[in-house]
Structure 1
């Protein structure tokens, strides 16, 4: 029975399955990126799969996610099976550049006759709330190392500084180069011609057809009617349902048998903000990575003789310095066992996210990954006057000159500010030294690449901050090759993974306790308002979260 695989990318894609029950319920119909990539890889080798059709548009995907999917579609196309993309419009009153870039990976592109080809280019935006803080009576007191560590600028500036503008310009330029090159190669157009079309966009669907940007105009029913004629498929199935379903053939059954035992490749994830302690998650938000949980997972992997290689999947903007350092140490300990550790960067692996990845044997990133940001920031926002305006006050009795140093109720003294500057210098020096050691670069060369600067994966690769360009599947292949394993004869284990029964059992050791997820909590009224303003950093190693690529 012939199956037509369907990818509905209008809903968005998850990097990591939600950790909390509420978040899982809200995202219950969303596929993970790994599921979609695995489905395309499996479908290419499955005689029952006749082809794939993808619905594009809607929720934005990151450039790195799109590049992962482009690679998976290219792999699927090597099977000779058709891959078709369709959309109502590549942008309707908005940019459709990244969605169209993804579409060019397919054999055919269909657009609704009333749609547009909104390949309007790339823009990097930054948000500044200093003016709002001034009006609210919040006093931002933040310091950074060095000039490109622009997370602090969100709160201290009203516009881009010269270093921030320089960095943003290169981020946009690098992303634009990647997109233009990808479109040119797949649509068999000169890059200069692609740039001309971008500058004249948005284009009406017919103009896109005439320019060779799309292959056919038609509605959804036209796309499926044409595929039915070509393939004569018997049924349709969402890609994530296809990869989740049980074995259907004797060969599938053989692959699921517990014998003969296959060597394992472990996947350890570092997702979201990096904090001290256990993994945490908001009921409505994404996951966070605790150093206790990730460290326990890395130790468990090191103690399991069946695990022959490890992929460290990092999708994190960073966070706590000490937590990142603790995870880095566990990565080094794991490497000392002789197992290859390959770091696979997702959409973002910057600041603390780069810190935990840099000691791996090989760092793999997509050209569009956001990485680097080797720098540090710290400080606070003084909300005393803001709270007073709404009738909230706080008093404290303290012992110790610096007992209230980090209080959001009062400014730093000159002596406290000097101590803060010393802390920044110490941490920045340590970050640079360890990055230079891990990457095998002279410290002065690494420092020139650091300074808090964010790079695309392509630029990071050119500067040896990243070793190879590619997605998770490429990282997995590298791990297998380094461990002498057959890529098709391994077991893949996500660590830590605890089912409901495991979570209900009382922990016996601190490692058992570490792999449980703790809820994210806020302590007190002041902390809640402070967090609502976006002021408390998740840690000293945090990238500029306000940057947005569109």
Structure 2
């Protein structure tokens, strides 16, 4: 009680001290005009904003990190509530987007347009996700010398058996589930029948998901849309002639196009003055000289509307939150991020299990939290580490509403963790499932012998050194490895059956290591709803009985490496390769893996 009174006193005093500034902002808002929200996505677009260390900011120079999907969605939702933001301009500057990210943005654009607002989309690289977003715009433009880079969907698998044979490496890997194809990379020369069947289904589903926005948003016939893709790469001007775009423009011409769109279709001005609360929350009212989203050095022409940035709309949201917190404590929902391969320990690349378990335990013990959303974007990894995270998530779900939100992929160990939640929400284009396990090792003795390396050992115990790479499995050890693999597979089935309310046999029928898109997973009962983080937050609030807008906080347990801190590109090629190698070495030490390294890439018509 005393703490509650102290918080009320502190917040009330702060509000009274800021009242003159709020009043001035409100007066300025009465005279402010309408502004266009400008969203610029470039390079690799992250799901969530990333903290940029000071050293990296200095090395990066003027190039700021791309706006994240979460920031873009939050800005669109806030702009939808702001009367003085009648339109949004989405610029895709060589933006590398996944199909699942485009799907989440499409949902946010639909909510924005449902308020009677306009959207203009511009892309200088017309990948599959970019074309889907262009289809959502009232007007869509490409770069005059650009081209359609989406050429279809291709399922690609790489097989290393012959290369390993040349090197003298003998893969001794086992798996359970006909569709658990990770070990096939090392043990086969081509796709198995099950692998090909799964690949065909995924290709059909992903292609349909990429094509649907063009059919609905652009009003194209299926034959016309397929012909445009099959006859590519088409220049942007030809794409406009075929109805994929409305035309071609350079970036400096875009604001004039937005202004023309607003002049042609804007409703007649209302004679009534703006409401004081709307005026006080106007993005323009941030200061007498509010920052503009226009490039520095470029002066606005009379035909160009004023602009606002996502940062200004975020400030508007924070002001509204402060006003609501004066009289009462808002219910809190925490979003915990699980990113990358699941590895054991508390340090390292990917997602160290120790850090995530600690974050989940802290959320369980925090009495201020009403609900938790576990954001999963992981192909899995160590089976043991996945089970530790599942246990922490299960304990949390027993005390508070826990909802799992899927990013691009929630497969194998990632899905193992997700089933501890009360609800699972996934984009239609995400990858879900891969309920299966892999175990074994790479036998390196022939390769070592070829290079003149001799290994001798003295052992005590019939199976000492069973997982050492310098000797092969004995028949008894291979059988023991197979028994451990099957034991964890049964545990996996039990976890999914418990979490999804199914029997063991029902889960086994859709398991066997098979990967599904989110849309297919919904029909099979592996997820509860299609959507992104906003829909997951809705589910969490519904389970917790929260009415109105909660206070949302985000936690990322991952710790960046030294190279990540120093790399000016924030995760460039060298860092990515080293990260993959470090994760591979960490997983190589694990006896059993729940891992599925599949990704969707529609940037250049690939699916791998």
Question: TM-score band, normalised by the shorter chain?
Answer: 0.7 to 0.9
Deviation per residue, 1:500-548 (Å, 9 max, x gap): xxxxxxxxxxxxxxx6849699xxxxxx9x9589577465343332555
Match of 2:311 in 1: 243
User: How far apart are residue 299 of structure 1 and its match?
Assistant: 2.0
Counterpart in the other structure of 1:167:
198
User: Could you tell me which of 91, 96, 101 is aligned with 1:60?
Assistant: 96
The CA deviation string for residues 225-255 of structure 1, in whole angstroms up to 9 with x for no partner, is 3224556998317999623887369944735
1:15 pairs with 36, 44, 47, which one? 47
- 3-state SS of 1:235 partner: coil
**Do structure 1's residue 31 and structure 2's residue 63 form an aligned pair?**
no
CA contact (8 A) 2:403 2:422 kept: yes
Tell me which of 503, 510, 513 is aligned to 1:449.
510
Which residue number corresponds to residue 501 of structure 1? none
Q: Confirm whether residue 219 of structure 1 aligns to residue 255 of structure 2.
A: no
Q: How far apart are 1:167 and its partner, in Å?
A: 0.7
Residue of 530, 534, 537 corresponding to 1:476: 537
Contact 1:171 / 1:455 at 8 angstroms: preserved in 2? yes
Deviation at 1:295, TM superposition (A): 2.0
Matched, 1:5 2:67: no
Task: Tell me, in whole angstroms, the C-alpha distance in 1 between the residues paired with 2:168 and 2:98.
Answer: 36
String of CA shifts for 1:448-496, please: whole Å, max 9, x gaps: 10001111101111111111111110110111122221342x1112246
The residue aligned with 1:360 is 421
User: Counterparts of 2:55 and 2:380 in 1: how far apart (Å)?
Assistant: 22
* Mapped pair 1:329 → 2:391: yes
Q: 1:544 and 2:596 equivalent? A: yes
Change (3 A) 1:516 1:532: closer
Structure 1 residues without counterparts, runs of 5 or longer: 91-95, 282-287, 497-514, 522-527
Q: Which residue of 1 aligns with 2:235?
A: 204
Q: Structure 1 residues 246, 31: CA separation in 2 closer, same or farther (over 3 Å shift)? A: closer
SS of 1:270 mapped into structure 2? strand
The 8 Å contact of residues 265 and 309 in structure 1, kept in 2 or not, is answered as yes
C-alpha distance in 2, partners of 1:244/1:124? 42
Query: Compared with structure 1, are the counterparts of its residues 255 and 420 closer, same or farther at alpha carbon in structure 2 (3 Å cutoff)?
Result: farther
What is the CA–CA distance in structure 2 between the aligned matches of 1:12 and 1:476, rounded to whole Å?
Answer: 25
Is 1:320 matched with 2:421?
Answer: no
The answer on 1:44 being equivalent to 2:80 is yes
**1:455/1:494 CA distance change after superposition, 3 Å:** same
* Equivalent residue number for residue 503 of structure 1: none
Matched, 1:492 2:552: yes
Distance 2:426 2:157 in 1: 23
Describe the superposition over 1:296-344 as per-residue Cα deviations: whole angstroms up to 9, x where unpaired: 222222222221111111011001212212222222222222x221110
Report how far residue 23 of structure 1 moved: 10
Q: Is the 8 A contact 1:477 1:487 kept in 2?
A: no
Report the counterpart of residue 288 of structure 2 in structure 1: none
**Deviates most, 31-40 or 45-54:** 45-54
Cα contact 1:275–1:320 (8 A) shared by 2: yes
Summarize the alignment of residues 127-138 of structure 1 with structure 2, pairs less than 5 Å apart: 127-138=158-169
Name which of 68, 71, 77 aligns with 2:113.
77
C-alpha contact (below 8 Å) 1:380/1:536 kept by paired residues: no
Q: Distance in 1 between matches of 2:531 and 2:47?
A: 16
Structure-1 separation of matches of 2:51 and 2:450:
38
User: How far off is 1:3 after superposition?
Assistant: 4.0
Aligned to 1:505: none
> Once structures 1 and 2 are overlaid, which stretch shifts more, 98-107 or 466-475?
98-107
- Alignment TM-score, normalising by the size of structure 2: 0.77
What is residue 299 of structure 1 aligned with on the other side?
Answer: 361
Task: Give the alignment of 1:372-383 within 5 angstroms.
Answer: 372-383=433-444
Q: Distance in 1 between matches of 2:437 and 2:183?
A: 10
1:200, CA displacement in angstroms?
Answer: 3.0
Structure 1 residue 100: Cα displacement: 0.9
Distance 1:364 1:246, change over 3 A: closer
Counterparts of 1:153-164 in structure 2, within 5 Å, are 153-164=184-195
Paired position in structure 1 for 2:371: 309
C-alpha separation in 2, matches of 1:147 and 1:41: 44
Evaluate the alpha carbon distance shift between residue 517 and residue 87 of structure 1 in structure 2; reply closer, same or farther with a 3 A threshold: closer
| Structure-2 residue corresponding to 1:499 | none
Is this contact kept in 2: 1:167–1:454, CA < 8 A? yes
Q: Give secondary structure in 2 for the equivalent of 1:203.
A: coil
Deviations 1:167-200 (A, max 9, x none): 1111111111112222111112233442333333
Equivalenced residues, count: 513
Over residues 113-157 of structure 1, what are the superposed CA-to-partner deviations in whole Å (9 max), with x where a residue is unaligned? Answer: 333234421112122222222222211111001111111111112
Larger Rg: 2
**1:85 to 1:416, Cα distance in 2 relative to 1, 3 A:** same
Cα distance, 1:262 vs structure 2: 0.9
Q: Give TM-score scaled by structure 1 length.
A: 0.84
Asked if 1:185 corresponds to 2:216, the answer is: yes
Structure 2 contact 410–431 (Cα < 8 Å) conserved: yes
Partner SS for 1:116: coil
1:280 to 341, 348, 351: 348
8 Å CA contact 1:457, 1:466 repeated in 2 = yes
Change (3 A) 1:279 1:7: farther
